[in-house]
Structure 1
Amino acid sequence: MLIIFLANKPVNKYFERVQNIFRKQNFIYDTTLLSGGYQLSYFSDGPYSIVRKEGKRAPVLPQNLTYGETPCLTIRKILQELELKPSDHFVDLGCGRGLTVFFVNQYFHIPATGVDIIPTFIRRAKILAKNLGLTQVKFI
């Protein structure tokens, strides 16, 4: 079941309306909540299909181009062991959709940068960061 959040409230009744929007465009974002905007940004085309499509033009061998996301709870556990300071800066090489970058910035309150070779991932993450007003989140 897909639950979309707007203004911190589940709004399942808008599911059909959102589907209609996505039939007309490939990308939409929700500026009211990071998780809601993040989910909406990949509603119509998943990250695996994006990697398959854009990976053909990537400057790496196909067998070296894989997609996977480390769960945020795992990232949290690893970074808690590092005892981060406000002066630290997190960099995620191969950030994919940028979820870890957003999470680290919001959870640990440090600047975070994501780097990836898939243009769609970077473009969408930049739009989300801008519309959410996250000035300490960058994507390259």
Structure 2
Amino acid sequence: RMVFSLKYICRATKGIPLDGWARTIVSQIEKDGKEKAYEYYNNLGNDPTDVEKWISFGEMAIESKKRNISYESVSQSISRSANMVALYEKLSLQTLDKDSLQSFLKKASTLLNVIKDSFVSDSNIAISIKEENFLSIHDLEADSA
């Protein structure tokens, strides 16, 4: 998850990357406001719950245009994460036996806790996870089909 989040934030330093459907939603909100956009999509027969998600996503995307995450900051996140990935790789390649199992489990547990903590403590990863979890635009397209 951490690696995918870092990949995402590299594309999202200046805001949420938008595809065609997302650009349509954002454009509609910017042009007409969220109330009229909601009414428009609702009148087309879309599920009101879906429309609320679309509008919320659009508002989040509009707000994200204001951000400017420096590449230096992203680079620092990548560097911190690289150490965790290297340790993960080392652990995954370890041959286990009865004597080494407890040590392995302790190291793996510690690593998982550190990775989990980075999802909150590293602001770039936290932003990425929040946006990725909110609602992928592909879900919007699938729901509207």
TM-score (ref. length: structure 1): 0.28
Specify which structure has the bigger relative contact order, considering alpha-carbon pairs within 8 angstroms and separated by 6 or more residues.
2
| Structure (1 or 2) with the greater strand fraction | 1
Compare the two structures and name the one with the higher helix fraction. 2
